[in-house]
Structure 1
Amino acid sequence: MTHHPDHDVELYRDDGIYRVFVDLPRFDPEEIEVAWVHHRLTVSARRSGGPGSSRVFDHEVNVPRAVDADGITATYREGVLDVELPVDRNDSPPGRRIEIET
């Protein structure tokens, strides 16, 4: 079953994988471009339906941890793009916890 997002774009973390769901109804797969550029997921979709009738979607998603770029996969079903971005196992969590003195 395909997850239909409540918003145009949703980001989830699930067992070491970030999943990005993008609602792109009425686009054909060949009209959608997905890329990993400068540690961001970029999604673009373009459809020209004739004079004065075109649709354009452009969005970037920042991911809070390093990603194994070679392991990124994408599927498109029922108008929803589902991109899986595996967390780089060698990356440590960003930042550090700071103790509060009392």
Structure 2
Amino acid sequence: MTQHPDHDVELYRDDGVYRVFVDLPGFDPEEIDVAWVHHRLTVSARRTGGPGSSRVFDHEVNVPRAVDTEAITATYREGVLDVELPVDPGESPPGRRIEIEK
């Protein structure tokens, strides 16, 4: 069963893997382009119908941790794109917690 997001795009963290769900009903897989560019997931979809009829979707998702770019996978079922972005185990989390002096 495919998870249908409540919004057009949703990001979840699940045991060392970020999952991005994108609701793209009515598109064919060939009309969807998924890329990892400058630490962002980009999703574009374009469908041209008859004269004056077209659908365009463009969205970027920032991911808060470095990911293993070689292990990224994507599936498209029942109108939902599901992209898995495994966290890079060698990368430390960005930033640090700062203690407040009393």
The two structures share one fold, judged by TM-score above 0.5: yes
Where does structure 2 lack aligned partners over 5 or more consecutive residues? none
**Aligned equivalent of 1:74:** 74
Is 2:14 the counterpart of 1:3?
no
1:71 maps to a residue whose letter is A
Moved over 4 A (4+): none
1:57 maps to a residue whose letter is F
Structure 2 distance, partners of 1:34, 1:49, is 21
Instruction: State the SS of the aligned residue for 1:65.
Output: coil
- 1:79-94 residue pairs with structure 2 within 5 A? 79-94=79-94
RMSD: 0.5
1:98 maps to a residue whose letter is I
**Percent of aligned pairs with the same residue?**
88
Deviation at 1:50, TM superposition (A): 1.2
2:44 maps to a residue whose letter is S
Structure 1 distance, partners of 2:56, 2:96, is 40
- TM-score calculated relative to the size of structure 1: 0.98
- 1:10-49 residue pairs with structure 2 within 5 A? 10-49=10-49
Length, aligned pairs only: 102
Deviation at 1:58, TM superposition (A): 0.4
Cα deviation 1:12-70 (Å, max 9, x = unaligned): 00000000000000000000000001111000000001111100000000000001000
